[in-house]
Chains A and B, each alone.
Chain A
Amino acid sequence: MGYDPILEGVSPMMALDTVDVKRRARVILIDGGHRVRAHLNTLGIHIGDWLTVVERAPFRGPVLVEVNGSRLALGRGIASKIKVEIEGSIESLSTPPREAEAEQR
């Protein structure tokens, strides 16, 4: 969606709907209107938050993510607007980097 494919290859930023199952990712941008952002905020998705992709429904169905202890189903439309960066490499999922969330603003 308007991305330079070459640039996307280098940039660590990717849309949430392309993240693989069981991967942890950190929200860096919410590309949506005020209302969508506010709604995501109240459900516990903020910029800087870590989330885990728990499941992806087939045929462009929704993505199930775990964030701040709750599970959210996000339609692909919304998920594609949440840009994230993937945690380093294939690390163990048992080390929740809780400190990372503390960053403000």
Chain B
Amino acid sequence: MKFVLAGQPNSGKSTIFNSVAGYRSATANFPGSSVSFTITRALILGREVEVVDLPGIYSLTSSREAAGEAESYLLDEDYDLIIDVMDASRLGRSLELTLQLLELERPMIVALNMMDEAVRSGIEVDAEDLAQELGVPVVPTVGRRGSGLRDLFRGALRQAHCGEASRSLELDRKVEEAVGRVRELLAESEFENTVPPRFVAEKLIERDPHFERDVYSARPELEAQVLGVAEGLQEFHGWSSDQVVSGSRHAVAHRIEEKVVTMHPPQVGWREWADRLLLHPLTGGPLMVLILGALFWFVFRVGQRLEVPLLALTDRLALALATQFPPDTFVGAIAGGALTGIAGGVALVLPYLVPFLLGLAVLEDTGYLPRMAYILDNFMHRIGLHGKSVLPLILGYGCSVPAIMSARILESRRDRRITAVLASFIPCSARTIVIFGLVAAYMGPVWALFIYLFNLILVVILGNVLARTMKGASPGLILEIPELRLPHPKTMVAKTWMTLKEFIIIAWPLLVASSVVLGFLEWAHAANSVNGLLSPLTVTILGLPAAVGMTLIFGILRKELTLVMLVQALGTTQLNTVMTDGQLLTFTLFVVFYVPCVATIAVMGRELGWKDTAWVTTFSLLVAVVVGIAGRFAYALFA
């Protein structure tokens, strides 16, 4: 049995999904945070059910350039039931999608979610009346607190069992006439599709390009006749046919809303006050700087508190191991490598990664990110983008992979391309670890801040250049600002754990294995040849020790590796004893910019195509070299 969660962006699908799946689907308080669907198997009342979490969609029209994954899933795939997640606090708008989902004529149940927010905004929804109107069961839920979810899934099972399909609601009389006429035409020409004929007819009248292509390529003779019907509708109403249909759906949604909703005066709480400050023309900007500054400070302080004692501990261990098995023996080299890998993860990576991920989770869950998009819209216009691009760029500070994927929330292809490229240049958490572990730890936090600012300036310049050279229209900012929420400790921990688990399962073994390989290569004196090969770059151009050559190769796998490998390659955790401050700075600058990691390259290839990816990769290497040289000589001159 298979259930599909469908609903508008930020209506809480992923939260409901996670309640049955454990924490599998990334949630955040901004519209469009799920970009691809996640499937889980769950045991519901003793039955095994597959649950699919689709990305949010505002409607079933393919008005977006990228015809949504969610849409084609709903239309073409095989499943037993739709769980339509409606946002009770935005009932009218949610209803418009619900009406379209009803037209799919599949078994359906409505989760009337965010009941708590609705109550706060003074909206009282009568779930029974709503069920009456829609002809499908409606269960009030608060996904974040888990209330109503048992009833929801119990109802879902029952509904899927009796298998009764939903029925479309009646629209405006003229629209119904037109739909009926096109259905007749479709039936006459014996056109068959996985989608109910009514739905096809409606889409053809709305002139949906996707359906027009499908139908007219199979039955070209229909085109003129259907267009005739659409034009008739257009003439009668004086609006384009798609507006007539959507307008009529809007009217039905509105009628239902009027019937089931009772309005009370809204509660003006701390959310309203916080928003007034956060979005105020005078206080909004300074508060944003303050919030981001606090995040930076938090990561640095917590990281340092943990790093120093952990490093001391691992150093003692390494010393004990070295006396037992000298590093020039085979066993010593391998064991030393393994220990460096393990210790590097514990002492260098985790101290900064954990507070960083927690901080990012707070920004995501409170809903501050869309507010940043609002405040920074102006600034983003200077780069040639608009506020919405802020979301992928901020996510880029976490990891480039989801950041590039989230560029999909942008409507135009041009904006998507530019944003994805820029996001890959933002220092991700792996690069942050290098920045904190080398520059902040040995040279002080001001220098780390300087690298971030310098990176930001370069990103702005690059954005400007790209925006000027790339053609295509940008529609500008249209973004929903969701209500502020207090971060939920459980979600925070779960979210941090999800990313951390990825580090522990994938990156850490890689770290240990690479460390062992490097230990072996050094024992066999093979590392020198690779280092020698790279020495024109590392030694001549950048003025670094030759031993860093190997670390840069490993760094393409995962950027954190450069830091841990550096420890292994130079044979000490006190890196400032073997590298000067200038070298640390040059090395870090180079690592921040050079070649995205393998995972990023893969996702960029998928999202942008391999030509763009190859270009970005080469370009980033070039930038890294230039920046590295600049860092080397600037530091020598001024510091």
Interface of A is mostly: mixed
- The CA-CA distance from A15 to B381 in the complex, in Å, is 20
Selected contact of B243 from candidates A37, A69, A73, A101, CB within 8 Å: A37
Contact of B242 with A by CB under 8 A: yes
Closest residue on chain B to residue A70 by CB atoms: B90
- The CA-CA distance from A44 to B375 in the complex, in Å, is 22
Measured between beta carbons, the chain A residues less than 8 angstroms from B475 are 35-36, 39, 77-78
Contact of A104 with B by CB under 8 A: yes
Contact of B478 with A by CB under 8 A: yes
- Whether A43 touches B244, Cβ cut-off 8 Å, given contacts A35-B475, A58-B281, is no
4 extra interface residue pairs, beta carbon distance < 8 Å, beyond A43-B93, A62-B374: A39-B58, A41-B246, A42-B96, A73-B373
- Whether A42 touches B377, Cβ cut-off 8 Å, given contacts A55-B280, A98-B263, A105-B244, is no
Would you list 5 pairs from A and B whose C-beta atoms are within 8 A, ordered by A residue? Answer: A41-B246, A62-B387, A72-B478, A73-B377, A105-B244
Selected contact of A44 from candidates B90, B242, B263, B281, CB within 8 Å: B90
Interface of B is mostly: helix
CB pair B478 A74 closer than 8 Å: yes
Selected contact of B59 from candidates A42, A59, A60, A94, CB within 8 Å: A42
- The CA-CA distance from A57 to B411 in the complex, in Å, is 22
Measured between beta carbons, the chain A residues less than 8 angstroms from B250 are 41, 46, 104
Q: Return B371 CB to nearest CB of chain A, in Å.
A: 9
Contact of A12 with B by CB under 8 A: no
Measured between beta carbons, the chain A residues less than 8 angstroms from B411 are 35, 39
Contact of B89 with A by CB under 8 A: yes
Closest residue on chain B to residue A58 by CB atoms: B281
Contact of B214 with A by CB under 8 A: no
Contact of A26 with B by CB under 8 A: no
- The CA-CA distance from A76 to B386 in the complex, in Å, is 10
- The CA-CA distance from A104 to B90 in the complex, in Å, is 19
- The CA-CA distance from A35 to B58 in the complex, in Å, is 13
Selected contact of B63 from candidates A35, A78, A96, A101, CB within 8 Å: A35
Number of chain A interface residues as a range: 35 or more
CB pair B377 A104 closer than 8 Å: no
What is the interface of chain B, defined by CB distance below 8 A to chain A? 58-59, 61, 63, 89-93, 96, 121, 123, 172, 237, 239-240, 242-244, 246-248, 250-251, 254-255, 258, 263, 265, 279-281, 284, 370, 373-375, 377-378, 381, 386-387, 411, 475-482
CB pair B481 A72 closer than 8 Å: yes
CB pair A72 B263 closer than 8 Å: no
- The CA-CA distance from A78 to B244 in the complex, in Å, is 22
> Total number of A-B contacts with CB less than 8 angstroms?
137
Selected contact of B248 from candidates A60, A94, A101, A104, CB within 8 Å: A104
CB pair B476 A78 closer than 8 Å: yes
- The CA-CA distance from A61 to B480 in the complex, in Å, is 16
Selected contact of B61 from candidates A38, A71, A104, CB within 8 Å: A38
Measured between beta carbons, the chain B residues less than 8 angstroms from A34 are 63, 240, 242
Selected contact of B377 from candidates A46, A61, A94, A105, CB within 8 Å: A61
Selected contact of A42 from candidates B58, B172, B280, CB within 8 Å: B58
CB pair B59 A62 closer than 8 Å: no
CB pair A38 B374 closer than 8 Å: no
Measured between beta carbons, the chain A residues less than 8 angstroms from B381 are 75
Measured between beta carbons, the chain B residues less than 8 angstroms from A7 are none
Selected contact of A78 from candidates B58, B59, B478, CB within 8 Å: B478
Measured between beta carbons, the chain B residues less than 8 angstroms from A51 are none
CB pair B246 A38 closer than 8 Å: yes
Contact of A40 with B by CB under 8 A: yes
Contact of A102 with B by CB under 8 A: yes
Closest residue on chain B to residue A81 by CB atoms: B476
Contact of A56 with B by CB under 8 A: yes
Measured between beta carbons, the chain B residues less than 8 angstroms from A84 are none
- The CA-CA distance from A7 to B292 in the complex, in Å, is 47
- Whether A68 touches B478, Cβ cut-off 8 Å, given contacts A35-B63, A43-B58, A57-B377, is no
CB pair B251 A105 closer than 8 Å: yes
Closest residue on chain A to residue B380 by CB atoms: A75
- The CA-CA distance from A34 to B96 in the complex, in Å, is 18
CB pair A69 B374 closer than 8 Å: no
Q: Return A36 CB to nearest CB of chain B, in Å.
A: 6
- Whether A60 touches B479, Cβ cut-off 8 Å, given contacts A41-B246, A44-B93, A101-B254, is no
Contact of A64 with B by CB under 8 A: yes
Q: Return A79 CB to nearest CB of chain B, in Å.
A: 9
- The CA-CA distance from A77 to B477 in the complex, in Å, is 8
Measured between beta carbons, the chain B residues less than 8 angstroms from A38 are 59, 61, 63, 242, 246
Measured between beta carbons, the chain A residues less than 8 angstroms from B476 are 74-78
Measured between beta carbons, the chain A residues less than 8 angstroms from B477 are 62, 73-75, 78
CB pair A73 B387 closer than 8 Å: yes
- Whether A69 touches B123, Cβ cut-off 8 Å, given contacts A55-B279, A55-B281, A64-B279, is yes
- The CA-CA distance from A75 to B90 in the complex, in Å, is 22
Residue picked from A34, A44, A57, A73, most chain B C-beta under 10 Å? A73
Q: Return A21 CB to nearest CB of chain B, in Å.
A: 9
CB pair B478 A46 closer than 8 Å: no
Measured between beta carbons, the chain A residues less than 8 angstroms from B246 are 38, 41
Measured between beta carbons, the chain A residues less than 8 angstroms from B375 are 57, 61
Residue picked from B121, B387, B411, most chain A C-beta under 10 Å? B387
- The CA-CA distance from A73 to B123 in the complex, in Å, is 22
CB pair A62 B377 closer than 8 Å: yes
Closest residue on chain B to residue A69 by CB atoms: B90
Measured between beta carbons, the chain B residues less than 8 angstroms from A40 are 478
CB pair B63 A105 closer than 8 Å: no
- The CA-CA distance from A57 to B96 in the complex, in Å, is 30
Closest residue on chain B to residue A45 by CB atoms: B478
